[in-house]
Structures are given as C-alpha cells and as structure tokens.
Amino acid sequence: MELLALFWHPVWVPCTLFLSAVLWARRGAWRPAACPVDLRGKTAVVTGANSGIGKCVALELARRNARTILACRSRERGEAAVEEIRRATGNPDVHLRILDTSSMASVRNFARQFLQEERQLHILVNNAGSAGLPFEVTSEGLSLMFATNYLGHFLLTNLLLDAMKSSAPSRIVNVSSFRHHKGKVNVHFLSGKEQPKNFDKGYCSTKLMNVLFTVELARRLQGTGVTVNALNPGLVRTEIMQNYSWCARLLFHVMGILFFKSPTQGSFSTTYCAVSEEVEGISGKYFDSDCSLASPSPLARDPTIGRKLWEASEKLVGLDDGGRETASRKVA
Ligand SMILES: NC(=O)c1ccc[n+]([C@@H]2O[C@H](COP(=O)([O-])OP(=O)(O)OC[C@H]3O[C@@H](n4cnc5c(N)ncnc54)[C@H](OP(=O)(O)O)[C@@H]3O)[C@@H](O)[C@H]2O)c1
C-alpha cells in the first residue's frame, strides 16, 4: 500500500511534466539509421564542418561513402575533424579545404580550387555560422556578422552553381534557425552602413536572410535539377555561443544539458535535407528541427524582399544578374 502511495505522490506530476518537456525539446521524427541512401560516387561540401552540427553532418555523409570536403577556416581544427571522420567511418575520401565565409577573397579561392580539382558537386551544405559576432566591418567593406552567416554562402553557392547543375540531381542545404522569425531585412546591414538593434537581432536577421536566399534561389533554379532548402536544427549543444560572455555560455551549457539536442541529434534535420529520398524534388522549403515541413516567417516568404536582397547581395559581392562574376571581380 505504501509502495502504491509512493507512485501516486504529487511530486511525480512536475517530474513528469519536466521529463516531457525534455523529451519534447529533443524530439526528432527522422533517423539517419532508417535511411538507406548510399552516396558512393557523389561529392559533398560542408561548410563549418570542424565542430557541432557541421561535423556530424560531414560524418554522416562520409559514412554513406560520399567524397566529403570539409570547408573550414582553421587548418588545425579542420585537420583534426578530417582525421576523426576518417577513423569513425573508414572512408579515406574525406578532405579539408580552407574557407572563411566572412572573406569573399577566401570564398573565391575556395571555389577556384574546388572547380580546378573536382568535376562534380552533388551536395552543398551551407552550415558555417556564428552568433554574437561584433559589429565590425571587414577589409572588404562588409559587415563581419552578415558576411559570415549569409553573404559568404551567397557567393559560394553562386560560384559553384554550374558544377551543381552539371551534377544534377543535386541539393543545396542552408542551415537557418527558428530565430529567423525575429529577424529584420535591411540591405544596409550587409555593408555595416546600418546596424541591427543588437547582436542578437543581427544574428536573427542573418538567419532570416538564409531563408530569403533559399526561396529566391529555388525560384531561379526551377527546371535545373538543383534543389535548395533551408532548415532549423533546433536548440543544439554546440560552440555557437563562443563569442558570448562566460555567464551566457554557462547558462547555455546548463540549459543545454537539460533541454538541448546533442550535436548528432541536432544534425538530423540538415542530413535529412541533404540525403533523404523524401526530400527529392522539393525546393524552396523550410524544414523544422523534427524534419517536418514548416512555414517560415511572413517576411521570409515575401518574394519582393527576397529579390531585393538578392540584387543587393550580387552588387556587394560582384556578381551580375546571371550569378556570374562581374568584370571588376573575376575569380583571381
Ligand atoms: N546550436 C544551435 O542551437 C543552433 C540553432 C539554430 C541554428 N544553428 C545554426 O547551425 C549552424 C552550425 O552551428 P553550430 O551550432 O554547430 O555551432 P558551432 O559548433 O560553433 O559550429 C559552427 C561552425 O561554423 C564555423 N565558422 C564560424 N565562422 C566561420 C567562418 N567565418 N568561416 C568558416 N567557418 C566558420 C565554425 O568554425 P570555428 O571552429 O573555426 O569557429 C564551426 O565549425 C550555424 O549556422 C548556426 O547558426 C545552431
């Protein structure tokens, strides 16, 4: 009887609610293990692949036998990730190439080397990103935050598009965030001529631009066999807060242990968009952290804003209307 009373104790109510909240926060419908897709003969590029979500996605692509290129800004961290992924998957076809998405010169160097070395590109995962970056303007006259999280990937994707078209069917995956709902679009943010209200608003705005870019690019890619989708990975325990104060990092860490997904769990929605058969032929969409199709914010779906952002981005990075290098900014 006493044992029964223990099971009926009121303390179980908040405990159950708490556990449900933990499980809900970590939920995810799709599991890579249930997806048989093999990527032998395919080439994939993952930006920011030396840690967090990007590393887990690269590992999953390599496990499926893709030629996997880790595009990272740090040689040391990139080489360590390549070694780890080769060891874990037994796939020797995993390589590092240097890419700093905040520098358009670095993006151009990466693209030039890639196009010299590779014939095809089937999967491009635009994952690199950082939160809490300062309002700095780079030597190229771009906002560090917007170049890192958005413009670098805009240029990279455009420079690699021909290779992706000739490898079709091929997929572009843009890692955005649920935080894009709080973002604002102002093309002057890109050059740092105007600034968002604070770092957080800035981050949210870069993630909004990731979705606008996805929708507009999908429109331009119709009929090419190249698809592009954006996704929200959810709340994931990674190094994303590395630019914040120790206090904010500690809070993120503690909350992370309780409620956030592990980097592996947090990589599922990205991997889903990159490999799943269910996503074949789908383009211009936004997937949630449980891999379900979701509706992005009304701003993210506005085609006029998307077009304006595209045109402003082209001008800033030196591309013409067809996504080609303008005379003044040819790949060196
Ligand atoms: N964690 C979350 O809860 C969460 C939620 C929503 C969306 N996201 C998005 O998920 C993506 C991956 O982030 P994460 O959570 O995995 O964080 P992370 O562990 O910090 O990984 C970010 C990766 O991006 C790289 N990176 C940062 N700036 C770069 C640059 N200028 N050039 C090249 N690489 C750069 C980092 O390289 P270094 O090691 O050199 O810094 C790192 O490899 C980001 O786009 C982020 O916005 C994350």
**How high is the pLDDT of residue 332?**
46
* 324 vs 200, higher pLDDT: 200
**How high is the pLDDT of residue 2?**
60
Categorize the per-residue pLDDT at 3 as very low, low, confident or very high, splitting at 50, 70 and 90.
low
Strand order in the sheet with 43-47: 94-98, 67-72, 43-47, 123-126, 170-175, 226-231, 286-287, 293-294
Could you tell me the two tokens for 188? Answer: 């002057």
Categorize the per-residue pLDDT at 70 as very low, low, confident or very high, splitting at 50, 70 and 90.
very high
pLDDT for residue 270 is more than 80? yes
pTM for the model stands at 0.92
Strand partners, 293: 287
pLDDT for residue 16 is more than 90? no
Pairing of strands 43-47, 123-126: parallel
Fold exhibited by the domain 35-320 = Rossmann fold (3.40.50)
203 catalytic residue (yes or no): yes
Mean pLDDT of 190-210: 95
What values do phi and psi take at 37, rounded to 5?
A: -55, 130
Displacement of CA 43 from its chain's centroid (Å):
17
How far, in Å, is the centroid of ligand 1 from the Cα of 25?
20
How far, in Å, is the centroid of ligand 1 from the Cα of 2?
52
Measured from the CB, is residue 99 less than 6 Å from ligand 1?
Answer: yes
Measured from the CB, is residue 229 less than 6 Å from ligand 1?
Answer: no
**How high is the pLDDT of residue 258?**
84
Quote the percentage of the chain above a pLDDT of 90. 79
How far, in Å, is the centroid of ligand 1 from the Cα of 14?
35
- For ligand 1, pick from 110, 238, 241, 271 the residue to mutate: most ligand atoms within 8 Å of CB: 238
Atom of ligand 1 nearest to the CA of 53: 16
Least confident stretch, 53-62, 240-249, 264-273, 287-296? 240-249
* 231 vs 251, higher pLDDT: 231
pLDDT for residue 26 is more than 60? no
Catalytic residue among 150, 203, 272, 286: 203
Write down the domain spans for the chain.
35-320
Q: What is the pLDDT of residues 304-321, one digit of tens each?
A: 999 999 999 999 999 987
Q: What is the pLDDT of residues 103-139, one digit of tens each?
A: 999 999 999 999 999 989 999 999 999 998 989 999 9
pLDDT for residue 13 is more than 70? no
Displacement of CA 329 from its chain's centroid (Å):
26
- For ligand 1, pick from 106, 130, 136, 208 the residue to mutate: most ligand atoms within 8 Å of CB: 130
Mean pLDDT of 3-18: 65
Asked if 125 and 274 touch (Cβ cutoff 8 Å), the reply is yes
Atom of ligand 1 nearest to the CA of 242: 20
Mean pLDDT of 213-217: 98
Categorize the per-residue pLDDT at 7 as very low, low, confident or very high, splitting at 50, 70 and 90.
low
Asked if 221 and 227 touch (Cβ cutoff 8 Å), the reply is yes
